[in-house]
Amino acid sequence: MADRIPYIAANWKMHKTAAEAAEFVESLLPRITATENDVVLCPPYTALGEVIERSRGSGVRVAAQNMHEAESGAFTGEVSAPMLLEIGVEAVVLGHSERRQHFGETDKALAHKVPAALAAGLEPILCVGETEEARDAGQTEGVLERQLQSDLAAVEPAELARIVVAYEPIWAIGTGRTATPEQAQEAIAFARDVLRGRGGDADAVRILYGGSVKPANAGELMAQPDIDGALVGGASLEPGDFAAIVEAA
């Protein structure tokens, strides 16, 4: 890995009440005091405040799992970047495949959300990745190229290094089927090449792998030269497992 600080993010999806989240943070923090890696927790909206309070001063940062691109407006059920910033959120997951699949998140919307997050001062964690059918049809690179070019279309080259990208092959998310380190490295190196083609400092961009990362496979995945960390779903729900992944980076 170049001089990129490893970045490990916990995507809790729709898991943990605020009380459960508080318990998690109390258990996690003493286990990761020695880490110099970037550690980010992505709880549901209702637990954001609790996690921010409990992790204050620890170096752990907090991300939301989505946001709307507008600052305010008639968008019932949505939350904006200024609302997240106000309570101390520092980053936001955008374009997770579950939002693309189940909630109609489009590349068109993401082309607005990514620059809106940057403009507000939030760090976007942009998720991209192919379906199993696309991989079998040899379309992995085409999918990654299309998603990255569309979602980052309005991002200035000078801003690129402020973005974190997560390569998450859909067939590996929540399935227990992890991409091999070689598959993940190949896709992530390709994604970095796409970023390079956009100008800006692509070598400074942290690109994570996500998809059934566990303590047992985290080390070999993150040892690959272009893999700068992990976006962890299921294994991030248990503090011991998540701490072990943080330590493996």
Active site residues: 96, 168
The 203-232 contact track toward ligand PEP, x by CB under 6 A, reads -------xxxx-----------------xx
| Binding residue (CB under 6 A) for ligand PEP from 116, 126, 148, 173 | 173
69 sits near ligand PEP (criterion: CB under 6 A): no
Q: Which residue is nearest to ligand PEP (CB)?
A: 233
Distances (CA, A) of 225 to 168, 186, 192, 198: 17, 10, 11, 21
Contacts of ligand PEP in 11-50 (CB under 6 A): 11, 13
Going 24 to 25 to 29 to 32, the CA torsion angle's sign is positive
Structure tokens at 12: 């809790």
Nearer Cβ to ligand PEP (50/168)? 168
Structure tokens at 36: 């110099």
Residue with smaller CB distance to ligand PEP, 200 or 234: 234
**Would you count residue 249 as binding ligand PEP (CB under 6 A)?**
no
Helix (H) or strand (E) holding 167: strand 164-167
In sequence order, the 6+-apart residues with CB closer than 8 A to the CB of 204 are 2, 4, 160, 161
Q: What does the binding site for ligand PEP look like in residue numbers (CB under 6 A)?
A: 11, 13, 168, 173-174, 210-213, 231-235
